[in-house]
Amino acid sequence: MELEILQRKATTEKSKGKILFLHGACMGAWCWTDNLLPWFATQGYDAFALSLRNHGNSPNRGRTTFRTIKEYVQDLSDTLANIPGEVHVVGHSMGGFVLQHYLKNPANKVGKGILLCSAASHGAGTLVKKLVKDFPIGFLKSNLTLSWLPILADKRHARKVMFRQDITDVRMDAILSNMKDESFLVFLELFFMNLPDPKKVKKPIMVIGAEKDYLIPEKDTRKMAAAYGVDPFIIPEASHNFFLEDEWEYVAENMLAFLEK
């Protein structure tokens, strides 16, 4: 299967290494192209972004509703196998969850991993309670239709769940127009059905969270970081999709410092 992979080659005289970006739920490789992908290329890294199956411009393999984390892990594994040498991986949200599962295999070829507003290794019970409280009708529709679009399609809901409150309508509309539905089965897996085991991960890990993240509350990020034995980097006043908004560069600089130490 030919998955979509976007690439920006290092713009420096010599490459420092390779880095792969893995998107979150409903997104694709496109979400990295404005900021982090080209920025890391200017810092000397060959930067790649993958669209998992049924996302972005990658081909569909069966109905999206019933795709699984195991399939997404296979997509990541196949992609890394085709990139020579060691690769650092950044996983956002669901992508971070996929990365955690991939890293359980001791034969993986990841150098360092960065969990960026990642779905927590201990599940997302807190989020379910919040969705029921804040979006009771949308949550009911999502469960009846096996789709999260009833929540994401409402711009007021999307703003609350994924963005800073001061994001412009124009910018938010541009992002939402590229988003697709996500596997309902995958949501069940990351909520409670198929959780990764941090004890099996031996690679260096950086855990980044956002102070105002509705989907991944700061306390869940801190709990996950503790499970990996690291101190989390919490971005003040930031949303779940901070890297698509303003003021992302200083976070990128901290990511770079982690990769190069």
Could you give the domains of the chain? 5-260 (3.40.50.1820)
| Sign of the CA dihedral running 81, 83, 85, 90 | negative
Partners of 46 in beta bridges: 18
Question: Do the Cβ atoms of 210 and 203 come closer than 8 Å?
Answer: no
pLDDT digits (tens, 9 = 90+) for 135-159: 999 899 999 999 988 888 788 999 9
Strands (E) across the chain are located at 5-8, 17-22, 45-50, 87-92, 110-116, 205-210, 233-235
pTM: 0.97
C-alpha 158/C-alpha 58 separation (Å) is: 24
Residues 6+ apart with CB under 8 A from 179: 26, 27, 152
Query: What is the reported pLDDT for 78?
Result: 97
Task: Point out the residues of the chain with pLDDT beneath 50.
Answer: none
Query: What is the reported pLDDT for 150?
Result: 82
Query: What is the reported pLDDT for 149?
Result: 83
Partners of 91 in beta bridges: 22, 115
Query: What is the reported pLDDT for 68?
Result: 98
